[in-house]
């Protein structure tokens, strides 16, 4: 008796892959690996080891997902995960790392990159000789110098060879010109002054052997000696000219006697210094108090004003007998349809003290217009007015929809109980409205707490705070202040480490605000249950 074995169900994962699909998959992996290898190599050369480590993980994950048949279901998941790691997780981790370093102007490179630059410095000792010079270049890229000392004696200097006195007609040296330099040297081509000035290679070459000759200026070459000597074991740099010793202090080699520093510095971990500077430094604390107060005032007034105006308009339009309701509502939505960037620039132009239509109109009527960009209080008022214009249409739409969900029976019952309009609004409309709009109010507050676009585009944080040692203005909020510290220089160079530390503190503040306001949202929900 023949027993028929049941056929196995075919799955998409086990189905045979076509030759074209296999070729395309392998081609994709090859192109990805080649591009990634070049990226990792350049990142490693620049000292970005954290980025190298992150990208190595991504390369491994991509190769496993696209080369192993069993990993087929995870292929597109890995692509999304890779983008998330590179553009979300890595920037967050890198910001945390930078906050504990001195990364910024003067400390942008690693110690391994800084040391060669420091040790390349040279000086002319008292016993050193100087010469007039002219450069020559061979077809294979080798250089030679013709040197003339104070006595007018000519010498030929090549790389890795002893300097020798030479005469025209010997060793391939041709006739001398009026200044005593050979017109030709066999195997070499004489460089003009312009060619020498544009050739960056020749100035860093050491010619001859003990002593070596280096070009010092456009007219002088000398027996220069290294200015600094580095003791890797003790991590000390010694100045050979003065004998002064420099020790590593927070990413800079610094003399303990004179306090002199050797540039460039390099990236180094400095612990909580950026955080303590932010909280304790008088230079930062001066404008920081004003900025922090305004940072809470600005979103509070913005949310209250935009929500209040939007709700008031929504309540008016909630009346079925309101005339021309659809037309007026459409016109009131115009600010919401125009990109905020354009709107901010338009308002900045309209409030221009010399040419702005608002100021010109006020001057023609009252003979005076507010100094929007000069006086702090008027600058802050202008910011709030522009933000009111930008924000009220959003809350008008939200409140209009939320009002439609409130049952008319509640109002009829309130009227029967003798409630007036204000009492009905306070006991019914507002509690039920806040249940739906409450989370949006929190989101709006957090958005305005970090509303960089409005502050920067309208007035760039100005007017400046008098006496502030950093670039800080009366309309600056923390995020724009961080931007000035990190990218605008603030007169003290960019400070990525300090800016990252402030960013972390800012995140903690926003997180705390969110938690508190969510608590209020729960309270609104509890109130609404009793309505």
Per residue of the chain (531 residues), give pLDDT as tens. Answer: 444 544 444 444 445 778 888 898 899 999 999 999 999 999 888 778 888 989 999 999 999 999 988 888 888 899 898 999 988 999 999 999 999 999 988 898 889 889 999 998 888 888 888 999 999 999 888 999 999 988 888 999 998 888 888 888 887 889 898 888 999 998 999 998 888 878 878 888 889 887 888 888 888 999 888 899 999 999 999 999 999 999 999 999 999 888 999 999 999 999 999 998 877 776 666 687 888 899 999 999 999 999 999 999 888 887 777 777 778 777 888 887 888 889 999 999 999 988 899 999 999 999 899 999 999 999 999 999 999 999 999 999 898 888 888 888 888 888 888 888 888 888 888 888 888 888 888 889 989 998 999 999 999 898 988 877 777 899 999 888 888 877 765 555 788 898 899 889 888 888 887 787 777 666 555 555 555
Taking CA atoms, 328 is separated from 267, 397, 403, in Å, by 59, 13, 18
- What angle is formed at CA 328 by the lines to CA 323 and CA 332, rounded to 5 degrees? 150
Phi, psi at 404, each rounded to 5° = -70, -20
Where in the sequence of the chain do the CATH 1.20.58 domains occur? 19-99
C-alpha to C-alpha distance for 281 and 321, rounded to whole angstroms: 61
- The pLDDT of residue 49: 83
Give the pair of three-digit tokens for residue 345: 């620039």
pLDDT score recorded for residue 202: 86
251 within 8 A of 98, measured Cβ to Cβ: no
Which residue's structure tokens are 């960056």? 200
What are the tokens at 202?
């020749």
CATH no. for 19-99? 1.20.58
For 113, 136, 213, the CA distances from 176, given in Å and listed in that order, are 43, 14, 22
DSSP 269: B
Would you state the pLDDT for residue 454? 94
Rounded to whole angstroms, the Cα distance separating 431 from 444 reads 19
- Distance of alpha carbon 249 from alpha carbon 268, whole angstroms: 9
How many CB atoms sit inside 10 A of residue 68's CB?
A: 11
Q: What is the pLDDT of residue 285?
A: 64
Which pLDDT score is estimated for 7?
Answer: 47
441 class by beta-carbon count within 10 Å (0-12 exposed, 13-18 middle, 19+ buried): buried
CATH number attached to the domain at 279-529: 1.10.3720.10
Q: Distance between CA 31 and CA 416 in Å, rounded? A: 76
Helices 376-404/340-350 angle, 10° precision:
140
Domain 122-226: CATH superfamily, name plus number: D-maltodextrin-binding protein, MBP (2.40.430.10)
Q: CB-based contacts of 471: which residues, under 8 Å, 6+ apart?
A: 461, 464, 484, 485, 488, 489, 490, 491
Write down the pLDDT at residue 219.
84
Residue whose structure tokens are 């081509």: 189
Is the dihedral angle over the CA atoms 396, 402, 406, 408 positive or is it negative?
positive
Q: How many angstroms separate the Cα of 305 from the Cα of each of 63, 385, 392, 475, 504? A: 54, 9, 8, 18, 29
- The CATH 2.40.430.10 portion of the chain extends over 122-226
Cα angle, residue 228 at apex, residues 225 and 232 outer, rounded to 5°? 130
């Amino acid at each position: 008796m023949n027993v028929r074995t049941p056929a196995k169900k075919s799955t998409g994962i086990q189905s045979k892959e076509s030759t074209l699909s296999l070729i395309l998959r392998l081609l994709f992996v090859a192109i990805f690996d080649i591009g990634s290898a070049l990226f990792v190599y350049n990142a490693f050369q620049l000292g970005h080891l954290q980025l190298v480590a992150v990208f190595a993980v991504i390369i491994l994950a991509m190769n496993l997902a696209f080369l192993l048949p069993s990993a087929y279901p995870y292929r597109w998941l890995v692509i999304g995960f890779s983008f998330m790691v590179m553009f979300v997780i890595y920037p967050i981790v890198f910001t945390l790392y930078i906050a504990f370093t001195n990364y910024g102007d003067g400390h942008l490179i690693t110690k391994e990159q800084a040391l060669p630059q420091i040790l390349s410095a040279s000086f002319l000792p008292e016993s050193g000789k100087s010469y007039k010079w002219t450069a020559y270049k061979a077809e294979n890229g080798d250089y030679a110098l013709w040197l003339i000392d104070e006595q007018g004696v000519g010498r030929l200097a090549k790389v890795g060879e002893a300097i020798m006195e030479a005469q025209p007609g010997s060793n391939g040296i041709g006739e001398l010109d009026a200044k005593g330099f050979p017109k030709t040297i066999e195997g070499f081509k004489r460089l003009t002054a312009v060619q020498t000035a544009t050739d960056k290679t020749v100035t860093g070459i050491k010619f001859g052997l003990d002593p070596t000759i280096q070009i010092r200026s456009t007219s002088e070459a000398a027996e220069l000696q290294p200015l600094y000597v580095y003791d890797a074991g003790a991590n000390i740099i010694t100045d050979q000219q003065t004998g002064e010793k420099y020790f590593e202090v927070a990413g800079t080699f610094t003399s303990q006697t004179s306090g002199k520093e050797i540039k460039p510095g390099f990236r180094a971990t400095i612990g909580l210094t950026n955080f303590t500077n932010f909280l304790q430094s008088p230079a930062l604390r001066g404008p920081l108090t004003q900025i922090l107060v305004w940072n809470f005032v600005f979103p509070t007034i913005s949310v209250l004003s935009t929500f209040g105006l939007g709700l008031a308009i929504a309540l008016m339009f909630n009346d079925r007998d309101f005339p021309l309701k659809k037309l007026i509502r459409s016109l009131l939505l115009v600010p919401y349809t125009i990109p905020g960037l354009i709107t901010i620039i338009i308002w900045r132009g309209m409030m221009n003290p010399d040419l702005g239509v608002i100021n010109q109109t006020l001057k023609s009527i009252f003979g005076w217009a507010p100094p929007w960009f000069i006086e702090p209080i008027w600058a802050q008022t202008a910011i709030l007015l522009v933000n009111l214009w930008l924000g009220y249409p959003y809350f008008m739409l939200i409140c209009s929809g939320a009002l439609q969900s409130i049952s008319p029976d509640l109002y009829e019952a309130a009227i029967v109980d003798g409630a007036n309009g204000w009492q009905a609004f306070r006991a019914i409309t507002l509690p039920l409205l806040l249940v739906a709009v409450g989370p949006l109010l929190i989101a709006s507050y957090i958005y305005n707490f970090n509303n960089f676009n409005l502050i920067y585009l309208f007035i760039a944080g100005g007017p400046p705070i008098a006496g502030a040692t950093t670039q800080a203005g009366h309309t600056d909020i923390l995020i724009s202040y961080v931007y000035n510290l990190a990218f605008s220089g603030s007169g003290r160079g960019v400070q990525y480490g300090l800016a990252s530390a402030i960013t972390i503190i800012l995140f903690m503040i926003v997180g705390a605000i969110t938690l508190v306001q969510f608590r209020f949202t729960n309270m609104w929900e509890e109130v609404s249950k009793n309505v």
